Amino acid sequence: MSISFKYEYGGIPLVTISNRHASAVISLNGGHVMEYVRHGEPPVLWMSHNSCLEMGKPIRGGIPVCWPWFGAHPTNKNMPAHGFARICRWEIERAEEINPDISTVMLSLTEKQVPKQFAASPFHLMMTISIGAELEISLKIMNTGKKTLKYSGALHTYFNISEIRKIKITGLEGIPYYDALAGENGMDSTPIKFKSEFDCVYFDKGDPCVIHDPQYKRRIVITKSGSLSSVVWNPWVAKSKRLQDFGDLDYHTMVCVETANARQDSRTLKPGKSHTITSKIFAENYE
């Protein structure tokens, strides 16, 4: 078992973890889980080889922390997509080995670490990352100011898959969704399968969903709390070519299933109040 600290990719501070079950890499740039790999198995998380790995720049892949807004800023087009939390330097509060099976890292971010151009209201984010046979990320949002704090966000998880055309996602059947590409609402009674660009926000009840990957012979089970919306995304061919930090063929081996507080699931915190959103990821192998 080990927990170590190092600087890579031109000076990004990283936390690396290895224990009985898995290894992980966490970047303090964005409080970003970049890698989670169970020993002897394909990576659970996907990372773009074209990602810009510089302090203050968003990382493509892994688990970006989108906060305090999801997608485009609601009023200012000059603001970066998905908020500022993913481009700020987070601080380490604690890193420890709970037992031979579980390692935990706790990170924090406050308005004092946010560049002044964002004019951030007072807040305190505490993120606890537990690495073991499963990966659990818990993000606690605290309103430390004197005014109401309104926000949206997501744990924008990129999953590593064998081939997008061969997987399916279950658990969101019969759930109403907003299709961001068509600009309309919908509902389907069948599992999600992919044959073109996909970008939908599902307004679920917090139930688990599962990525079925027959080529890798595994199921990735995503359970959550503090979230009543899930985002499913794949850029497909044309958008992959437009994204600078995305390889033209990368869409084949990734899919995003995001634990979110998005659209009508956006949250409002009164002064002194908090909300916690948690995502738990378990890769289950089968023959």
3-state DSSP call for residue 236? Answer: helix
Enclosing H/E stretch for 14: strand 12-18
Residue 72 CA to residue 42 CA, distance in Å, equals 33
The CA-atom distances, in angstroms, between 227 and each of 155, 207, 232, 233 are 10, 10, 14, 17
Q: Which of 39, 96, 156, 173 is catalytic?
A: 156
Write the DSSP assignment of 69-93 as a string of letters: -SSS-SS-TTSPTTBSGGGSBPEEE
The strand pairing partners of 129, in sequence order, are 105, 137
Q: Which of 124, 258, 284, 287 is catalytic?
A: 258
Residue 137 CA to residue 264 CA, distance in Å, equals 23
Spatial contact of 213 and 121, defined as CB atoms under 8 Å apart: no
Spatial contact of 255 and 209, defined as CB atoms under 8 Å apart: no
Closest C-alpha among 188, 197, 209 to residue 258: 209
**Catalytic residue flag (residue 156):** yes
**Catalytic residue flag (residue 212):** no
Residues with a catalytic annotation lie at 156, 258
